[in-house]
Structure 1
Amino acid sequence: MFAYLHGAFKHKSPTSVVVDCSGVGYEVHISLYTYGKMESLESGRLWIQQIVREDKHTLYGFIDQVEKELFNYLISVSGIGPNTARLILSGMTPGSVKSAIMSEDHVSFTRVKGVGPKTAKRLIVELKDKIEKISAGQEFGIPTNQSNTSREEALSALITLGFQKAQVLKAIAKVEQTLDEDAETEMWIKTALQQLAG
């Protein structure tokens, strides 16, 4: 239904954003990768994938078409739903997802909550041929927009992604021992995801 939304980015968080298009606000779920690219932007375009379930319609947004295409490939694999696909794209860049599939590195995928060894191997088998045609493009740096609320944003994002609050608090406590206080939100979340996967 939607190809993309272009408008002002309102109420940004590491897991979602409201895109204001001519006075209508669309709630869009995003990956950490997309959040990192749009964090410092006031407006722009997000490529959209609409997921329709019996009880709700959900919009997922992507900073580029490559990420959207990867998302659609990921959810085509049995055992991987939209939220798990978003977790994969939050813990890995599109380029590293492609690389892990091409090199048959199933371990990288098992670090993501909800992806076991069988699902990871199935993902690689089903997507290896398809993924060759995706150009992952250049890896861009994540814009830095430091904030003293990075810890709180990371905590909120991880709980929103489905982790238990107690687990997240433990992981964040460990992250605090290794990260600088002014580390950006994306780094907090990635490091905490590693702790949660361990």
Structure 2
Amino acid sequence: MYAYIDGRLTFKNPAYVVVEAGGIGYHINISLNTYSALGDAERCKLYTWLHVKEDAHTLYGFADEGERRLFLHLISVSGIGPNTGRMILSSITPIEIQTAIVKADLPLIQRIKGLGAKTAQRLVLELQDKLKKEGADSLISMPQHNTVKDEALSALVMLGFAKQTAEKTIDQILKVTEGSLSVEQLIKQALKTL
């Protein structure tokens, strides 16, 4: 529902912040990683995810889009809820989490409070292929200046195509068309080929 909230940071502690935007103070739960990233800033922009339950609507905030995407992957695993996802992001850095899952480093994952052997195995089993398919650090590093190729590749990966296969297809199309296509045209051509 909310992509991000940008406003004045009125309260900050390691568990949550209050961000005032448009005269409304938003209580946003954060990880220690986000807490560290905020530093002493008076203004902040947090990428958010809204968790809706029968008895509560809870906002979770992240310092960058990559951390939010990793969080969404984590909570998609059976047995891992938003609070456990936040605990994982607070225990080790997002890059370490992604590397541990891709390399199946079960001892490192099990050191995180609240994660036992079965949950660690489930994390690796359910996310390892997704993270490998998207490529190293794809969740963490976000391109600053997207080219037509980057945007098309990102869209194809989000649609479920393997990054390497999609990239080869895009490169072939760009050679033939000499880079004269828009993002939409490039994606359409790639979908016909894939």
* Common topology (TM > 0.5): yes
Structure-2 residue corresponding to 1:56: 56
Q: Report deviation, 1:136.
A: 2.2
Q: What is the number of residues matched between the two proteins?
A: 138
Alpha-carbon distance in 1 for matches of 2:107, 2:52 = 31
Cross-structure match for 2:94: 94
The residue that corresponds to 1:12 in the other structure is: 12
Which residue of the partner structure matches residue 117 of structure 2?
A: 117
Letter of the 1:51 counterpart:
H
Per-residue CA deviations over 1:109-160 (Å, capped at 9, x if unaligned) read 211221100000110110012123234239xxxxxxxxxxxxxxxxxxxxxx
C-alpha contact 1:4 1:47 (8 A) present in aligned 2: yes
Query: Matched residue of 1:9: which SS?
Result: strand
Residue pair 1:12, 1:39 contacting (<8 A) in 2 also: no
Instruction: List, as ranges, runs of 4+ consecutive aligned residues in structure 1 with deviation greater than 3 Å.
Output: none
- CA deviations over 1:149-185 (Å, ceiling 9, x no partner): xxxxxxxxxxxxxxxxxxxxxxxxxxxxxxxxxxxxx
Query: Would you say the 8 A contact 2:66–2:140 is kept in 1?
Result: yes
AA at the equivalent of 1:124: V
Q: Distance in 2 between matches of 1:7 and 1:82?
A: 24
Partner-residue secondary structure (3-state), 1:127: helix
* Whole-Å separation in 2 of the counterparts to 1:98 and 1:131: 7
Using the TM superposition, give the Cα deviation of residue 71 of structure 1 relative to its aligned residue in structure 2, in angstroms: 0.5
Counterpart position of 2:127: 127
Listed as ranges, the gaps of 5+ residues in structure 1 are 139-198
Tell me the TM-score normalized by structure 2: 0.69
Shift of 1:37: 0.5
| TM-score, scaled relative to structure 1 | 0.67
Percentage identity across aligned positions?
47
Larger Rg: 2
Contact 2:47/2:61 (CA < 8 Å) preserved in 1?
yes
What amino acid maps onto 1:89 in structure 2?
A: L
Alignment of 1:29-108 (within 5 A): 29-108=29-108
Residue in 2 that maps onto 1:23: 23
Extract unaligned runs of 5+ from structure 2. 143-194
Work out whether residues 95 and 137 of structure 1, in 8 Å CA contact, stay in contact via their aligned partners in 2.
no
The amino acid of 1:38's aligned partner reads L
Give the SS at the match of 1:47.
strand
* Distance in 1 separating the partners of 2:125 and 2:34: 26
Q: Distance in 1 between matches of 2:90 and 2:96?
A: 11
